[in-house]
């Protein structure tokens, strides 16, 4: 990340990196996830691989959720109106199949409902919903 920031002459609001998925307890690379555009970012949210310009945080609060808070926060960032740069470098290693991961907790998965509710409220604020139809 530091190398990219030092060599980066752009004025990007967000810099998106790729990441790798590993099996917990091994050095076995299962998959490398590349992100080359906004559509792919929407499908592979994970703010732990994004560098944000500090001005993005003005007036925004990270949602008080235990699941899907990354997705809600990115919605609040109004990513479509930001200058986003996609870098073909890996900045994060994600380990799966850890019994302590929140995504493996059945009670935490129920909290996703709260995230959907908050997402719906954000969409309404942006006036994207008209007559029950999402545009």
* Model confidence pLDDT, tens digit, residues 25-50: 887 899 999 999 888 887 777 888 88
* Model confidence pLDDT, tens digit, residues 10-21: 788 889 999 999
Contacts of residue 78, defined as CB under 8 A and 6 or more positions apart, other chains included, come to none
* pLDDT given at position 113: 67
Q: How far apart are CA 4 and CA 101, in angstroms?
A: 30
Contacts of residue 23, defined as CB under 8 A and 6 or more positions apart, other chains included, come to 30, 95, 96, 97
pLDDT bracket for residue 89 (50, 70, 90): very high
Q: At CA 16, angle to CA 32 and CA 129, rounded to 5?
A: 110
* Model confidence pLDDT, tens digit, residues 92-123: 988 887 766 666 666 666 676 677 777 777 76
Q: Determine phi and psi for 115, rounding to 5 degrees.
A: -65, -40
> Does residue 135 have a pLDDT over 50?
no
């Amino acid at each position: 990340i530091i190398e990219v920031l030092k060599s980066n002459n752009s004025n990007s609001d967000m810099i998106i990196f790729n990441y790798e998925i590993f099996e917990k307890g091994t050095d076995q690379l299962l998959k490398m996830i590349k992100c080359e555009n906004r559509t792919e970012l929407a499908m592979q949210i994970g703010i732990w691989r994004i560098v944000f310009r500090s001005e993005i945080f003005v007036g925004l609060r990270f949602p008080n959720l235990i699941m899907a808070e990354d997705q809600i926060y990115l919605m609040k960032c109004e990513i479509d109106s930001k200058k986003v740069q996609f870098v073909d470098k890996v900045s994060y290693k994600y380990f799966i199949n850890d019994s302590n991961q929140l995504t493996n907790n059945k009670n935490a998965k129920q909290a996703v409902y709260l995230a959907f509710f908050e997402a719906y409220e954000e969409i309404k604020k942006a006036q994207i919903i008209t007559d029950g139809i999402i545009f």
